[in-house]
Amino acid sequence: APGILWLTRDFRLHDNPALQAAIADGPLLPVFIIDRLTMTQGAASRWRLMRALQSLDATLRQRTGGKGITILRGEADEILPPLMKRLGVRRLHQSDWPTSEMRTLQGRMRAALRPAGAELVLHPGHLLVHPRAIRTGNGGAYRVYSPFARAVRQLGPDRPAADAPRRITACTEPLQGLDPLKLDLAPDLHRGRAALEQFAPPAGEGAALARLDDFLDRASAYPGGRDRPDLDATSGLSDHLAVGEISPRVVWARAMLRAEVSPEHAAGIGKFLSEVIWRDFSWHLLIEFPQMPVACCRPEWEGFPWRKDAPELIGWQRAETGVALVDAGLRQMWLTGRMHNRVRMVVASWLTKHLLIDWRAGLAHFADCLTDWDPAANAMNWQWVAGCGPNAAPYFRIFNPERRAEQYDPQGDYRRRWLAGFDGASCPEAEVWLQSIPPAWNRGPWLPGPPSMLAKGRNAALAALAQFRAT
Ligand code: FAD
């Protein structure tokens, strides 16, 4: 019988225990299903997922002599159990991706497989360590990053699995009754944004591993440069990690090896790995608070009078706040699917503190626009900035975008790059913005808002927060 791999977010051949297990079961049948969960994720991340799918499909074809991924449309728990029954398959392999929506789907899958005595087997690989392996002294989950990070370093990440073999035997049995989609005919996944094509860095696991090596060669510049959106000092791996084109355990293992042989990079690599642990921490929190993307982890914050349908939300989404660093970040994200981490913080702080708009509206816009969208990282960071997360910034911490711009973008290069009109900018990237937005958004060159709005927003936010704390 064939070995079935249910692909969800693990588009790679290296360190992929689910793939290894499927290969061990029999001739490989890798399946990707365009289901409700896929179609309800944001446009940019769906587009990015398509590129990951294309890339893995091409690599698999090379290894199998022509057989790629079978793409089907529908609900996995309705399609796969009858297929498995027909083919006499007893195990369905999947890399675990522990969101609450996936848990529900896995539950339905198990129920559908049970009557035929078949099972769903979940495999690790998405994280450095199993989120439940790290517990506090009294068995609970960590709510604070530093002790969590210490525990991860002490325990050490799980060792990567072996790479998939050079030659893979593919399943050639006919899939009666099913109508697989051709990769380039899976149109719903394509409905991205034209600008993303223009700015996209290469996708696929080869590109991801090369990017990691390239970053490790310049890791000594990371601690000094990582807060600077005008420089290219960070790894740029988040897109690849989000779709599983690179395994975090391989990132860890290669980085540790590099720190050993190139001690000049050791400090930079140490800092970089702390960030990779933040990613694990966000999943640790998501498992503890499955509602993290939709509800405040500190429930008292549900009582905060967030503005829900403020007209300023549209201005923020359209990058028309009049604050240069905020608008530059929002335009970078719209056009490229990415935004520098520091700028994400400032942009999120502007929405939740200066405009007092519900953090969930910001989270949703990010989820639609980011190619590195990750449900855990996005939710943890939004709650951190808004002040309602378990590990949140203090309420009075309100980023001053002008001061941050001086600090992070001292020559204004980042802002000039993305804002047509800022400081006489005429960069090609800034012009692409005007071409890519819907006509209704086009207000011509970017214009700053009145200087008083900074102080006004800050004072209003502090007053609202102080009043909330008093009640
Ligand atoms: P590097 O600096 O090279 O870091 C290496 C890796 O560490 C990253 O690829 C990422 O996997 C992880 N990492 C770094 N910072 C964080 C962090 N603060 N939280 C969790 N993991 C981190 N990151 C996402 O991957 N997806 C998201 O949807 C996302 N949403 C965010 C929303 C807000 C409001 C904020 C403030 C941050 C968000 N981040 C998100 C975290 C961070 O901005 C990105 O991971 C980072 O900018 C990616 O760039 P890089 O790969 O070059 O990072």
Regarding the beta carbon of 372 and ligand 1, being less than 6 Å apart is answered: yes
Please give the helix or strand (H or E) that residue 93 lies within, else none.
Answer: strand 91-95
In a domain, 197, yes or no: no
The domain that holds 155 is classified in CATH as 1.25.40.80
Distance 45 CA to ligand 1 centre (A): 15
| 358 & 376 share domain | yes
Q: Cβ–Cβ contacts within 10 Å for residue 280, how many?
A: 22
Q: Find out whether 319 and 330 touch, Cβ atoms under 8 Å.
A: yes
Q: Are residues 383 and 236 in the same domain?
A: no
Q: Is 173 part of a structural domain of the chain?
A: no
* Threshold 0.80, pTM exceeds: yes
ipTM confidence: 1.00
121 C-beta neighbours (distance < 10 Å), count: 16
List of the chain residues with pLDDT < 50: 191
pLDDT of residue 445: 82
Residue type, 301: W
User: Which pLDDT does position 425 carry in this prediction?
Assistant: 67
Does any domain span residue 195? no
Q: Is the CB of 236 under 6 A from ligand 1?
A: yes
Structure tokens given for 276:
């990779």
Calculate how far, in angstroms, residue 333's C-alpha sits from the geometric centre of ligand 1.
13
Percent helix, strand, coil in the chain (nearest 5)? 55, 5, 35
CATH code of the domain containing 312: 1.10.579.10
Which ligand 1 atom sits nearest the alpha carbon of residue 339? 47
Its domain, for residue 21, covers: 1-125
| 83 CA from centroid of ligand 1 (Å) | 38
- Using CB atoms within 10 A of its CB, is residue 455 exposed (0-12), middle (13-18) or buried (19+)? exposed
**Centroid of ligand 1 to alpha carbon of 276 (angstroms):** 8
Ligand 1 neighbour 235 (Cβ under 6 A):
yes
Regarding whether 337 and 243 lie in a shared domain, the answer is no
pLDDT for res 430: 78
Ligand 1 pocket, residue 275 CB under 6 Å = yes
239 lines ligand 1 (CB under 6 A): no
* CATH number assigned to the domain comprising residue 41: 3.40.50.620
Say if residue 355 is in the same domain as residue 282.
no
C-alpha span between 7 and 436 (Å, rounded): 33
Instruction: Tell me which residue has its CA closest to atom 21 in ligand 1.
Output: 279
**Claim to verify: residue 284 and residue 374 sit in the same structural domain:** no
Tell me, yes or no, whether 331 and 442 share the same domain. yes
**Ligand 1 pocket, mutate which of 214, 241, 381 (most atoms under 8 A from CB):** 381
User: Count of domains in the chain?
Assistant: 3
Instruction: Say if residue 439 is in the same domain as residue 312.
Output: yes
Q: Which of 22, 31, 69 is nearest to 165 (CA)?
A: 22
Residue 188, in any domain of the structure = no
Which of 288, 311, 335 delimits the end of a domain? 288
Domain end, chosen from 110, 125, 140, is at: 125
Kindly state whether residue 226 falls inside one of the protein's structural domains: yes
Interval 297-340: pLDDT, tens: 999 999 999 998 899 999 999 999 999 999 999 999 999 999 99
Domain end position, chosen among 266, 288, 310: 288
Distance 377 CA to ligand 1 centre (A): 7
Query: Is residue 282 lining ligand 1, measured as CB closer than 6 Å?
Result: yes
CA-nearest of 32, 34, 16, 35 to 24 is: 16
